[in-house]
Amino acid sequence: MADNPQKPGSPQAGRPLSPHLTIYHWAITMIASITHRATGIALSVGALVLAWWLVAISNGPEGYQTFYAVAVSPIGLVVLFGFTWSLAFHLLNGIRHLAWDLGYGFTPATAHQTGLWVIALSLILSVGIFAFSWTGHAGYLQ
């Protein structure tokens, strides 16, 4: 529970700090790690939208219409794309983390490469999912 050393007047003011985000050169591994956290937090909020979707379905056709209108509005689609990409990224990078837990892919070169793959694949997958839907292929469980 130490005081903030950067705060003027605190007993620790002026003491050196260990390097943080503003000091380090940005690397792919670092970006992937931060994005994994951010997408995890975003997906926790997404769970609320999932709950809303299930409630809307349970409320009958009129209740579902309200949800559907919001979901396909421009803002709704942007948010849904955000959740889609977050899930794709968190899932792919999560598999990368599980591989690390098993001891694979730890060398800097490999970690850099798999990081780039995860970023690229997550974008391709989420754009692909939306393209799949926009070309009229979704709704196959009708």
Partner 1 sequence: MSSLQTPLHQVQGLGAAHSGTGHFWRLRVTAVALVPLSLWFVFVVLGLAGASEVAAVSFLAHPWNALLMGAFVSFSLYHAALGLQEVVDDYIHTAGAKIFLMLFIRAALLACWAVSTFALIRIASL
Q: Which residues bind partner 1 (CB under 8 A)?
A: 1, 37, 40-41, 43-44, 47-48, 50-51, 54-55, 57-58, 60-61, 64-65, 87, 91, 94-95, 97-98, 101, 129, 132-133, 138-142
Q: How far is the CB of 57 from partner 1 (least distance, A)?
A: 5
Residue from 122, 115, 118, 130 nearest 28 by CA: 115
Judge contact between 83 and 49, C-beta under 8 A: yes
Give Cα 94 to chain centroid, integer Å. Answer: 11
Judge contact between 82 and 42, C-beta under 8 A: yes
Q: How far is the CB of 27 from partner 1 (least distance, A)?
A: 19
Nearest residue (CB) to partner 1, 109 versus 137: 137
What value, to the nearest 5°, has the Cα angle with vertex 89 and ends 142 and 56? 35
Nearest residue (CB) to partner 1, 88 versus 111: 88
Q: How far is the CB of 45 from partner 1 (least distance, A)?
A: 9
Nearest residue (CB) to partner 1, 49 versus 119: 49
Joined together, the tokens standing for residue 50 give 């999932």
3-state secondary structure of 84: helix
Q: How far is the CB of 8 from partner 1 (least distance, A)?
A: 19
Nearest residue (CB) to partner 1, 45 versus 120: 45
